[in-house]
Each structure stands twice: as C-alpha cells, then as structure tokens.
C-alpha cells in the first residue's frame, strides 16, 4: 500500500510532465501566413472532397466537394469549418472613451468560406486561422510549370517541405528530411492517405490595438493573449490537423480528422469551446435536407427527404443519395480534477503524460489498481485484467494507464530482451523499429524499457489514454439565417448560439432534429479550461452509408478503428504495397486485414523465391496459441492465410513469420 505522501508525489510528477509534453515543439518563427494557404483533394477512399489548410473542408462550388462515392458527382456537404471559441477578460479602462471598466470578450477563431471569413476593415488581411509556413512545399509547381501549393499529403511527395519544423528537435534526425511526418512516426502513413498541416490564430487582430489603425480595433475591448508580444493576436492558439482515409472494406466510407489545439499564449483561457460548423448540401433542392442528433452516441445524422440530388457536374443526371453522419470520437485534454468523466475506471488519464513509475509483479499491480482505479468500471469498459498485455508481462509503467504498452517479447518472463526476442512497443520517438523498412537505427527512447511519447500504445498514440468528455454542444439552424447576412462572421452572434446550446446549460432546449430545411449545424465540445502550454484533442469521423441502419453499424466500426489507435501497428500501408511487383524482391510480412477483427482475419506475406514457411500466432506472454503454417514450402509471390480466432479471448496477439532464416513479427487485435 502506498503512503499518502508517495501517492501525492507520484501525481505531482505526472502532472508536471503533462504540461511538458502538451506544449508546442515548433520554433516561434513559424507562424500563420496567407502566403502558405493551399488547397488539396482528399480522395484516399470512396470519399472525395476539397480541403484547405486553414481548417476548412468541402467548400461549396469547388469541385469536388463532399462527394460520395468518389467520381459519382453526388454531393452531401457544402462546407465544414473548425472553430475555437473563448471567453476572456478584455481591457477597456486604459483606453480613453471605451468605458470605465474591463469587460468580457468572446473571440472565435475561424476561417470558413467567404461568408465566415473575418478580414481587417483597414487592410483586408485575414483575421482567423492561417497555415504555418514550413509545413508544405512553398516552391511546388504543377505540370504546366505554374506555382501551385498543396497542403502536405502523404501520397504526393511534391507537397512535402524540405524538412519538418516540428521535428527540428529530434536528436537523431533533425527535421526528418525526405520522410513523411506521419502520426504514427517517421515515414509511416496512417491508412492509405494522410494529410498534415498546422494553423494558428496569431494574426487575428480583431481585438488588438494600434496595428491596422490607431487605437482599439473593436469597441468591445482589447485582448492581448501574450502581453510581452503585441504582435500575437486571437486567442493565442495553434492547431495541428491530420486526416486519415482507409481504402478497405471497413474504412472505405470514413474520413477521420484529428485536431490538436495548443494554447501557445501567455494566458490561461478559463472558458473554451471547440466547435465544427457543418453546412448540409445533399443534392440541389436543399430545402428538404434533415439533421438528427443521437446524443448518447455523440453522433449527428443527415439525409435528404426524397433521396435525390443533382450532380456537381453540369449536364449529368440526378443521383440517388444515401446518408451521411458526423461522429465525435474524442474530446480530451490534460485533466487534474480527480473526476472519471468518461466512466472508464481511470481517473484523469492523459495522452500527454510521462512514463510514471514501474511496478513489477501481478500482486503489486493489483494493489496499485485497486487503490487508484475503479476496477469494476475498468473491466466493464475494456476486458478482464488478466488479458491486459502489461499485466500478463508483469511489468507495468503507470503512465501507460490502459496497460497495453509492452517493451519487447519476453517469452521466459525474465524482464530482459534476450536474443531472438523482438521489440514490440519500445521503438523510440520516431516510431520505427529494426523490422521497419528504411530503419535508420536506434533513436531516443528506443529499447530502453521505458514508454516514450511517439511509441505505439502510449501517450498521444494511445487513444484509450484520453479522458474523453464527449459531445457538449449541438445546434441546427436554417442556413438562410447566417448566409443572408454573413452573420457567422460576427463573434458575438455565433458565440451566443454556442453558449446557449450546451447540454450542460440549465436553459438548454433539446433539439434532436431539424427537418425539411437547409440546416447548418454547430457540433462541439462542452466548456473547458485550456491552460498555457497545454493541448486538447477533438477527433471526428465523417461517415457515409446507404441508410440510418448502415450508418449506425459503420459508426461502431469507426469507433473500433479509433480505439485500435488507427491501426498504429500497420507497418506496410496499401499504397506502399503497390510498389511491390508480382514477384517481390524481398521477403515481407504485411499487417493482418481487417485489424481489429472478429473472429477471422487474413495474414498476407510476400516471398521473393520458393522457400519453406512457418507462420505462428502467440499471445502477449509468448505462449503459442495457433500454428497456421508449419515448414510448408510456398512459391514466390504473395500469399494469404486466414486466421480464425473464434476460440480465443479479446486481446492483442503476435504473429510471427519465419522464412529463409529471417523472422518477422507483427501485432493483431481481436475484439469480441
């Protein structure tokens, strides 16, 4: 049993490291600029839409916009914009003629189409999100030799910068030059297409003074998020945005978007909201569009009453339309309030923490969990304790709150990586291990037996280590209310709807649906505090389906993909596999498909020549659970073996390919 003093010390150390890992890693000279604005196309699966690197997606009348299935011309969405809202104290007293006391301001950071674009009335400069320089190729030209910037897209190397500013601090490979800056690590693509950009609101001078004109820019007051630097405007926010598309039978109709917002200012923001603005556009006669909230699922569904819509391509016949939905997968941040808000048995879990303390042996792990966890809720939400990898391994770092990080194979449970035992999660900050193609060698944290940010199944790469607060704001209204007067440019007007339509508001009027109209929807978080140098995640899935039942099924599948950390253990993505000829030049083992799975999955491997093959499945402790192929000779080429796990319990398993004196291992996840 821990003493109270040691418990408090552990918590203090973890909280201190939280702030360290949540802060931005980007040098201050990289700031949002209009010169870096770029437009691209998301088309990594059956969803096809335009996007811009300032938080906007599916802009109306810009082909293609909100199309599903790809190439059909059937449109669903006329725009999605990302917004951050805050309530802060504004200065008035010191500005002559602007009141005798300080007041509250409600700045909103957004850059959405012309109708939601905030511009300086003095210079015409954008007051809103702008992309940081340095995160795409500023000198890119198209096939005609004309300058044409793109946001950084994994499938187009011409869109990448020479180096990545957020990776300049990497000790073993500063800047990751020539590699994709992947969510999972250096050169690793999540899904079949991943995009990445960073934007900030530091050039939003709506509430500044003496920049574009003499005196305050707004009669509501003046707000400097960083008093030591009057060139910083807005709320002082920086947002990293990634999209993931999976082109497989499960994920082909889903678009995942991850927003990671950091307070880079010098002031805490005591009241903050994260919100998406979604403009429906199912077909042409948009007066018959519908929206319905399913609050307990953090899901909103959209459909067209007659299921018919005009194509985005002029002269083409009308399209039959299906349904589309937006699912909130995560709203989380650094937490220290001692409340288990997502009722998963873990209190104040965080994606931003350090490794914690090492606990050895099942008895010691049991004692810690029983003291600090609600084990009934924990096992209800996940699985029985005996199935957790760290528990089975009898070595657990408490910063890995969901007990799924394992350093290496340990077949004899001696706690040491012996010859023949491969690294599993202890891959270092770049996410690459010895079995990865183009492995550059060990990097910081690799093979040290301690969880490090950047490694699989830990911290920001472990979705289940988030204190998820769920959906907190929903409001739908007819688009004519905003576009007719460009009202969404008005912070006060838009903030009123966000604040009044919080589920936690005692005066909130439940609005489950808006029928036969052209709705705009606000879909956002509950109110929270965003402290200096801390970050918050807001992760969504845009899902398309044939009808409501199809959407509900796919929403559950999207949740599983998210909970599997977006398939973080997939080491060869589909676009990489296309580079392999019909007779491969090397031996390789691909990630099982689908993953997670229930109860069957396919394991594919490639052989450069005819050789004997052994393929075996182990549980996380190294116990063999299935021999799929035993010293059987296969011809050169690609092969697939089905694994049926009907008789096994949910959990993480390891499959190993032995061929021509080489050994390849990967993980798979069974969820029942």
Mean pLDDT of 484-488: 61
Q: Are 207 and 90 in contact (CB under 8 A)?
A: yes
Q: Which residue matches tokens 């850059």? A: 111
- What residues are paired with 626 via a beta bridge? 617
Number of neighbouring beta carbons within 10 Å of residue 429? 21
pLDDT, tens digit (0-9, with 9 covering 90-100), for 525-574: 999 999 999 999 999 999 999 999 999 999 988 988 898 888 743 222 23
- In this prediction, residue 101 carries a pLDDT of 60
Position 21 confidence tier, pLDDT thresholds 50, 70, 90:
very low
- In this prediction, residue 271 carries a pLDDT of 95
Q: Tell me the CA distances in angstroms from 65 to 76, 79, 327, 460, one per residue in order.
A: 8, 8, 19, 31
Using DSSP bridges, classify how beta strands 471-478 and 193-200 pair: parallel, antiparallel or unpaired. unpaired
pLDDT, tens digit (0-9, with 9 covering 90-100), for 47-71: 999 999 999 999 998 999 999 999 8
Q: Tell me the CA distances in angstroms from 522 to 81, 105, 151, 237, one per residue in order.
A: 10, 20, 26, 20
- In this prediction, residue 2 carries a pLDDT of 29
- In this prediction, residue 512 carries a pLDDT of 65
User: Residue 256: is its pLDDT beyond 80?
Assistant: yes
- In this prediction, residue 354 carries a pLDDT of 93
Q: Are 282 and 303 in contact (CB under 8 A)?
A: yes
Using DSSP bridges, classify how beta strands 471-478 and 519-525 pair: parallel, antiparallel or unpaired. antiparallel
Q: Which residue matches tokens 């009934």? A: 376
Which sign does the torsion angle of CA 243, 26, 236, 134 carry?
negative
- In this prediction, residue 418 carries a pLDDT of 87
- In this prediction, residue 96 carries a pLDDT of 55
Three-state DSSP string of 251-319 = CCCEEEEEEEEEECCCCCEEEEEEEEEEEECCCCCHHHEEEEEEHHHCEEEEEECCCEECECCCCCCCE
Q: Are 261 and 239 in contact (CB under 8 A)?
A: yes
User: Residue 578: is its pLDDT beyond 50?
Assistant: no
pLDDT, tens digit (0-9, with 9 covering 90-100), for 469-478: 889 999 887 7
- In this prediction, residue 331 carries a pLDDT of 94
Is residue 634 helix, strand or coil? Answer: strand
Is residue 88 helix, strand or coil? Answer: strand
User: Residue 575: is its pLDDT beyond 70?
Assistant: no
Q: Are 262 and 534 in contact (CB under 8 A)?
A: yes
d(CA 259, CA 542): 14
User: What is the phi/psi pair of residue 511, to 5°?
Assistant: -130, 90
User: Residue 4: is its pLDDT beyond 70?
Assistant: no
Q: Which residue matches tokens 């957790």? A: 388
Domain boundaries, the chain: 4-23+353-465, 44-272, 580-670
d(CA 75, CA 49): 9
Homologous superfamily of the 580-670 domain (CATH): Macroglobulin (MG2) domain (2.60.40.1930)
Is residue 494 helix, strand or coil? Answer: helix
d(CA 318, CA 313): 10
Average pLDDT, the chain: 86
Length of the chain, in residues: 672
Of 392 and 32, the structure prediction assigns the larger pLDDT to: 32
CA-based nearest residue to 620, from 569, 670, 666, 654: 654
d(CA 169, CA 171): 6
Which sign does the torsion angle of CA 589, 594, 597, 598 carry?
negative
User: Residue 147: is its pLDDT beyond 90?
Assistant: yes
Q: Are 314 and 301 in contact (CB under 8 A)?
A: no
Is residue 330 helix, strand or coil? Answer: strand
Q: Tell me the CA distances in angstroms from 270 to 218, 349, 531, 587, one per residue in order.
A: 22, 21, 7, 55
pLDDT, tens digit (0-9, with 9 covering 90-100), for 586-597: 788 988 988 888
d(CA 139, CA 149): 7
Q: What percent of the chain has pLDDT above 70?
A: 89
Which sign does the torsion angle of CA 338, 341, 345, 346 carry?
negative
d(CA 67, CA 313): 11
Of 412 and 457, the structure prediction assigns the larger pLDDT to: 457
pLDDT, tens digit (0-9, with 9 covering 90-100), for 33-52: 999 999 999 999 999 999 99
- 1-15, 118-132, 254-268, 317-331 — which is least confidently predicted? 1-15
Question: Quick one: tokens of 584?
Answer: 């491969």
Q: Which pTM was predicted?
A: 0.83
User: Residue 516: is its pLDDT beyond 60?
Assistant: no
Q: What percent of the chain has pLDDT above 90?
A: 53
User: Residue 202: is its pLDDT beyond 80?
Assistant: yes
């Amino acid at each position: 049993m821990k003493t109270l003093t040691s418990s408090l010390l552990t918590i203090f150390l973890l909280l201190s490291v939280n702030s360290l890992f949540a802060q931005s890693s980007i040098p201050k000279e990289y700031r949002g600029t209009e010169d870096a604005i770029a437009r691209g196309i998301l088309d990594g699966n059956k969803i096809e839409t335009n996007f811009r690197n300032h938080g906007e997606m599916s802009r109306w009348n810009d082909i293609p916009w909100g199309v599903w299935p790809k190439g059909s011309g059937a449109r669903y969405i006329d725009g999605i914009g990302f917004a951050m809202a805050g309530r802060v104290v504004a200065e008035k007293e010191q500005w002559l003629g602007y009141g005798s006391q300080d007041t509250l301001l409600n700045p909103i950071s957004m850059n959405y189409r012309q109708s939601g674009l905030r511009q300086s009335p003095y210079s015409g400069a954008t007051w809103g999100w702008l992309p940081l320089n340095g995160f795409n190729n500023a000198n890119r030209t198209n096939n005609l030799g004309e300058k044409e910037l793109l946001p950084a897209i994994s499938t187009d190397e011409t869109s990448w910068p020479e180096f990545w500013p957020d990776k300049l601090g990497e000790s073993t490979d500063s800047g990751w030059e020539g590699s994709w800056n992947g969510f999972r690590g250096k050169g690793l693509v999540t899904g079949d297409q991943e995009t990445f950009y960073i934007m900030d609101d530091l050039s939003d001078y709506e509430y500044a003074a003496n920049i574009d004109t003499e005196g305050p820019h707004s009669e509501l007051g003046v707000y400097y998020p960083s008093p030591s630097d009057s060139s910083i405007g807005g709320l002082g926010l920086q947002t990293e945005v990634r999209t993931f598309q999976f082109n497989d039978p499960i994920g082909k109709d889903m678009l995942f978007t991850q927003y990671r917002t950091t307070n880079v200012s010098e002031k805490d923001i005591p009241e903050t909201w994260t919100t998406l603005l979604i403009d429906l556009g199912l077909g042409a006669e948009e007066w018959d569009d519908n929206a319905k909230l399913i609050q307990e699922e953090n899901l909103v569904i959209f459909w067209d009453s007659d299921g018919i819509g005009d194509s985005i391509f002029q002269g083409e016949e009308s399209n039959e339309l299906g349904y589309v939905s937006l699912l909130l997968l995560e709203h989380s941040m650094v937490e220290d309030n001692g409340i288990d808000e997502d009722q998963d048995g873990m209190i104040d879990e965080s994606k931003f923490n350090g490794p914690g303390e090492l606990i050895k042996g099942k008895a010691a792990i049991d004692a810690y969990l029983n003291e600090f966890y609600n084990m009934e809720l924990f096992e209800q939400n996940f699985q029985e304790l005996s199935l957790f990898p760290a528990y089975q391994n009898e070595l657990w770092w408490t910063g890995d709150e969901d007990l799924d990080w394992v350093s290496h194979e340990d077949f004899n449970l001696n706690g040491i990586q012996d010859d023949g035992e491969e690294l599993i999660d202890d891959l270092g900050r770049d996410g690459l291990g010895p079995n990865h193609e183009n492995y550059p060698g060990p990097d910081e944290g690799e093979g040290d037996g301690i969880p490090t940010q950047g490694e699989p199944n830990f911290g920001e790469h472990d979705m289940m280590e988030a204190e998820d607060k769920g959906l907190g704001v929903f409001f739908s209204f007819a688009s004519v209310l905003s576009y007719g007067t460009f009202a969404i440019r008005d912070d006060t007007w838009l903030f009123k709807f966000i604040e009044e339509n919080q589920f936690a508001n005692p005066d909130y009027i439940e609005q489950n649906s808006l029928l036969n109209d052209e709705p705009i929807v606000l879909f956002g978080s509950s109110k929270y505090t965003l402290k200096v140098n801390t970050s918050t995640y807001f992760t969504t899935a845009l899902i398309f389906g044939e009808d409501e039942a199809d959407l509900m099924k796919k929403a559950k599948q999207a949740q599983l993909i998210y909970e599997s950390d977006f398939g973080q253990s997939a080491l060869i993505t589909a676009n990489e596999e296309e580079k392999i000829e019909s007779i491969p030049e090397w031996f390789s083992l691909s990630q099982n498909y689908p993953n997670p799975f229930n109860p069957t999955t396919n394991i594919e491997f490639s052989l450069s020549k005819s050789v004997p093959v052994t393929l075996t499945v182990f549980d996380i402790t190294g116990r063999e659970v299935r021999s799929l192929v035993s010293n059987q000779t296969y011809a050169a080429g690609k092969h697939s073996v089905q694994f049926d796990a009907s008789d096994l319990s949910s959990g993480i398993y390891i499959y190993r390919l032995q061929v021509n004196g080489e050994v390849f291992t990967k993980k798979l996840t069974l969820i029942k």
